[in-house]
Amino acid sequence: MSIGNMFASLALYKIRTYQVSDIANEHSSGEYVAFRFATIAASFALLTIYLIVIAPGDAMVVSTLAFLLFKADETFADVLYGVDQKYGRMDYIGKSQILRGLATIIGFTVPLAITGSVTHAIFGMTLLCFVNTILYDVRHARRLDSIAPRFNKADLTKLAKACALPTIANFCATSIVSVVRQNYGILAGDELLGIYASIATPAVLIQAGTAFLYSPLIGKMASSLYSEGKLEFRKVFLKVLLSIAVIMTLGVIALSFVGEDSLIFIFGEGLEPHAWIFPYVLAGTVSIAILLYINDALIILRDNRTQIAINALALILAAMLSKPLIASFGMNGVNLAILAAVIPAAFIGFTKIMMNCNKQSDE
């Protein structure tokens, strides 16, 4: 699973927001498709070598390679979703996700029930998802634009350079929690780290919910910038940010009331002495979700330098502050370290966006 996540991070190359916000059609859909083929091939080759080196046996290699094929199909579908979203057909994406979910469940459970082999089950869900991609995603994306891959070295190199810094920035942002948790595990041990992970599990819904809220609006934000200028973009950006803040605040309040008792009920009485940190976990998750939204806004503005700067700052702060805060505040030091790292980075990013947009009003 972890290797699959590594593969997806590399193969996606943080290009979806760039693709959807390419209102001027600097790159064609065919170029984005070609670039995704290139990133999938490079990621697969790199991680296959890594897997062969670290895997304990042949069975592990085969099952993991099967899972990488599943992730390859998933990441290829993502670039087709970018075409759908750019042309305002989010309904295509929703229907595809439903079909893909059914394909995953049926493709995995039926072979597993028949053969008892997890490897066969992974191949089964991979095959059905491939069929869904070819028969549904490719056909629907073709209705909107030509998706025949265009392998032009100069254009692909330009695209690789354009998204290199956002990819590194995204890696920094998604590594913040991992670094802090790793330091907590070193200081407190695996048992307490496991308890914290259990408490933090429901908070993932907050981050996923935030992306669900604003992702469909990426195209609108890009269109407002391209058609009406930075002042209109600022209005849309602030409206979305305010909506995220209000909805996430209400969600945090609601989950704070029921979350502690629910966690104890699900995971047992062993969590009770630590369940009080749950609201702080939610606060840290919300801060990261807002940082990721600011990252996407900076991609739309093509401000890669600010994006890499604020995310590198957040990761450095997380590494520097986590151990002293954990030593002082115990398990809650994990959340305080995340907040202390992310809030300054998000504030700087927000300020830079406002300054960038205000330049137009001064001209």
What does the domain layout of the chain look like in residue ranges?
2-151, 162-358
pLDDT band at 59 (very low <50, low <70, confident <90, very high): low
* Interval 293-335: pLDDT, tens: 999 999 999 999 999 999 999 999 999 999 999 999 988 999 9
CA-based torsion, 95, 96, 101, 102: positive or negative: positive
pLDDT band at 264 (very low <50, low <70, confident <90, very high): low
| Distance separating alpha carbons of residues 171 and 166, to the nearest angstrom | 8
Q: Which tokens is 78 given?
A: 């993502």
pLDDT number for residue 259: 59
Mean pLDDT score, 18-22: 89
Where do we find the tokens 């394909």?
Answer: 103
pLDDT number for residue 24: 84
| Distance separating alpha carbons of residues 336 and 328, to the nearest angstrom | 10
pTM equals 0.81
| Distance separating alpha carbons of residues 26 and 87, to the nearest angstrom | 15
pLDDT number for residue 217: 81
Burial class, 144, CB count within 10 angstroms (exposed 0-12 / middle 13-18 / buried 19+): middle
pLDDT number for residue 315: 93
Distances (CA, A) of 293 to 35, 164, 210: 24, 18, 8
Strands (E) located in the chain: none
DSSP state of 330: T
Greatest mean pLDDT range, 10-24, 180-194, 201-215, 304-318: 304-318
| Distance separating alpha carbons of residues 283 and 256, to the nearest angstrom | 10
Mean pLDDT score, 273-291: 83
Distances (CA, A) of 126 to 12, 55, 74, 239, 241: 18, 21, 9, 40, 37
- SS3 of 337, please? helix
Q: Which tokens is 275 given?
A: 């369940």
Provide the percentage of residues in the chain whose pLDDT is more than 90: 40
| Distance separating alpha carbons of residues 329 and 141, to the nearest angstrom | 51
Burial class, 261, CB count within 10 angstroms (exposed 0-12 / middle 13-18 / buried 19+): exposed
Mean pLDDT score, 217-223: 84
Contact 263, 202 (CB under 8 A): yes
